[in-house]
Structure 1
């Protein structure tokens, strides 16, 4: 069975909207700790084009510290319930099996775990028994320490090997293959050159695995390293990096500013369809003409 998160043929890439119900997230910490405000923002993202809203109650920014279970539950479960009641498809962004379980009971349809179901030993069971979709992300280290001198001998191969191992563990636990998404984990224990290589290498993951690939580049620190822009002013760079990922085969893009990024995603989706579909010859003709004109 094909995953529902595979990009539709000749269609737009899916959009996941980020809803951080935390006081300390790197981009919008403190903005949506109020339940009513969080639900309103989630529904606004849905109306702007988000196919799913990713609700998180524990920051995973570099250097962040773990949050107590009860605190995380208090932050996210009322928001999940409010969004689901209003007809929104919800993902729960957590590493804790109990948060996953309660969020799924409240109506969440996806688990998005930055530890790829490693952090909590019960996570595999919860996902397998619930039958929800799950996004497996690669992270070197833990959020608290992941940016302390990360190293790779070959980042694409190492991340691919990690995916192979986690997919095998999921399948053995009873998780349906069609439920699994893959996220290379931009910014999670990665150097600048690793992040760039992973974005350029999305096509390699699509080649190796018959699963949807999620790309999360929105406002990440590597953007600031390249352009010097502050976290609140990285939407242009987010759009460019996301577009490159889409051209490489990304199926779903995780973003903060849905209304703005939806425009860039629509354009990149159309161009990537042209580049790979039956009209690809148009692009080749245009390129040839450009060479003759400017060569």
Structure 2
């Protein structure tokens, strides 16, 4: 596939000083807050706005740079809700977090959604980023919303939906095909008015990928990073880590997650999306220190 984007290793996305981010300065950590009853590792724990706020404060104390708030579970087999229910879950938690934590140095809040109405309402209510597991495939109107607001947009690789993704995990060369799919999604986003400077790539570990596919993608992260877009990697507590370590409980996969995060940083990851913020912040700072990257 031919693309107009640069293949250099320098980031296309510029620094985001208004959001306290300078790409390449250090590794940033995004804390996951699921305001859902059915997410794979913490469903129901942070479903209420008060519980979400307590978790947000805990993650901020532990060093989170961003918080990723999601009202629709995207685990394999999850039931899909409509936009109204997703907004009913997300907006009260977002309002509470923004009110309590938006002072100087407060974290950026990302909204994990593939729906345009949810993205628009959340951005209007003070969210900073949109994290779309479908890269605009599920609801193309989300691209117009992102273009209008000019916000950072995480463009993640996936196939199908929660019910069908496991049946679509077929690749001849997973690294090359994920790269091509992300380039194609990038072209569509650019055509919809999103600027290259807004885009952040995510290879979508665990989405329509087997254990071996995920391991191959991790070995090939540097290939994706060479395209020039900032790279977000979300390995946290994923099923492939459980398979490698024989750990069936998601909450027992911290050390596997930390190992993946260390490798991802070495391969050029800019943002790590995780549940266990404290240990991963320490992991990132240690790897950054070894690499000669100054801390915060």
Give me the TM-score of the superposition, normalised by structure 2: 0.88
Question: Hey, what does 2:268 align to over in structure 1?
Answer: 249
Question: Hey, what does 1:199 align to over in structure 2?
Answer: 218
Partner deviation per Cα, 1:67-110 (whole Å, 9 max, x = no partner)? 12221111101111122222131000011110000000111110
Question: Hey, what does 1:47 align to over in structure 2?
Answer: 61
1:2 paired with 2:14, answer: yes
Question: Given the alignment, which residue of 242, 246, 253 partners 1:224?
Answer: 242
Question: Hey, what does 2:232 align to over in structure 1?
Answer: 214
Question: Given the alignment, which residue of 120, 128, 137 partners 1:118?
Answer: 137
CA displacement at 1:271 relative to structure 2: 2.4
Question: Hey, what does 2:202 align to over in structure 1?
Answer: 183
Question: Hey, what does 2:7 align to over in structure 1?
Answer: none
Question: Given the alignment, which residue of 53, 58, 68 partners 2:82?
Answer: 68
Q: 2:218 & 2:96 partners in 1: Cα distance?
A: 34
CA displacement at 1:63 relative to structure 2: 0.9
CA displacement at 1:120 relative to structure 2: 0.9
Q: 1:262 & 1:182 partners in 2: Cα distance?
A: 21
Give the number of the structure whose residues are more often helix, by fraction.
Answer: 1
Question: Hey, what does 1:139 align to over in structure 2?
Answer: 158
CA displacement at 1:176 relative to structure 2: 1.6
Q: 1:219 & 1:272 partners in 2: Cα distance?
A: 25
Partner deviation per Cα, 1:142-193 (whole Å, 9 max, x = no partner)? 1112112611010111111111111111112111211100000000000111
Question: Hey, what does 2:5 align to over in structure 1?
Answer: none
1:150 paired with 2:163, answer: no
Name stretches of at least 5 consecutive residues in structure 2 with no aligned partner. Answer: 1-12
Give me the TM-score of the superposition, normalised by structure 1: 0.89
Cα RMSD for the two superposed structures? 1.5
Question: Hey, what does 2:278 align to over in structure 1?
Answer: 259
Moved over 6 A (4+): none
User: Secondary structure of 2:50's match?
Assistant: helix
Deviates more, 1:213-222 or 1:132-141: 132-141
CA displacement at 1:6 relative to structure 2: 5.6
CA displacement at 1:3 relative to structure 2: 4.2
- The answer on whether the counterparts of 1:7 and 1:252 sit within 8 Å (CA) in structure 2 is no
Q: 1:271 & 1:135 partners in 2: Cα distance?
A: 28
Question: Given the alignment, which residue of 39, 45, 64 partners 1:25?
Answer: 39
